[in-house]
């Protein structure tokens, strides 16, 4: 079930909604080699009218299953957005879906959760990875300091 609100009912005042969004309802097509969603998204939000828009504030959280980008260890991580705030508009490119009086807020929550995902998950901040690979990487970068590719490209080649 997507997260929907009845816009007409909001005319009498703000409403608070708490619950869970199944992964299939907001991230069915999400794939990432290092990050997976291993719990539903929990939300506790307040929705109120803001002119023609809806102001949505509250908190979101979800459990991630991650693979450390340095040592490949599997670990879990809580992604929390304690001060979620977004504006749902019904016109333009950022418009949220609306069917009659029923607005679907799922894309708003999805966007902030996706923005909060770690691009480079680490099992701990000072993870040194696999020692021998780290050495190989340093010498590799030393030999080819300016071959025009990004450092990430060099890292990717080393993973082979």
**Could you give the dihedral angle defined by the CA atoms of residues 6, 11, 13 and 14, in that order, rounded to the nearest 10 degrees?**
40
- Residue 137 binding Zn ion, by CB under 5 A: no
How far from each other are the two terminal CA atoms of the chain, in whole angstroms?
41
Question: Binding-site residue total for Zn ion (CB under 5 A)?
Answer: 6
In whole angstroms, the minimum distance from the beta carbon of 23 to Zn ion comes to 25
Q: Is 31 exposed, middle or buried (0-12, 13-18, 19+ CB in 10 A)?
A: exposed
- Residue 34 binding Zn ion, by CB under 5 A: no
- Tell me how far apart the alpha carbons of residues 23 and 105 are, in angstroms, rounded to a whole number: 15
In this complex, which beta carbon is closest to Zn ion, that of residue 45 or of residue 69?
A: 69
Write the binding mask 44 to 83 for Zn ion: x where contact by CB under 5 A, - elsewhere: ------------------------x-xx-x----------
Q: Which residues lie near Zn ion (CB under 5 A)?
A: 68, 70-71, 73, 123, 127
């Amino acid at each position: 079930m997507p997260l929907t609100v009845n816009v007409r009912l909001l005319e009498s005042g703000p409403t608070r909604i708490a619950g869970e969004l199944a992964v299939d309802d907001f991230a069915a097509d999400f794939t990432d080699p290092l990050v997976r969603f291993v719990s539903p998204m929990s939300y506790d939000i307040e929705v109120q009218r803001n002119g023609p828009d809806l102001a949505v504030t509250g908190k979101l959280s979800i459990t991630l299953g991650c693979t450390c980008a340095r040592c490949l260890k599997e670990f879990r991580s809580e992604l929390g957005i304690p001060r979620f705030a977004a504006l749902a508009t019904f016109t333009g490119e950022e418009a949220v879906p609306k069917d009659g009086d029923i607005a679907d807020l799922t894309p708003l929550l999805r966007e902030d959760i996706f923005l909060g995902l770690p691009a480079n998950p680490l099992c701990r901040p000072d993870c040194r990875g696999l020692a021998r690979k780290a050495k190989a990487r340093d010498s590799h970068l030393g030999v080819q300091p300016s071959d025009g590719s990004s450092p990430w490209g060099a890292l990717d080649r080393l993973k082979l």
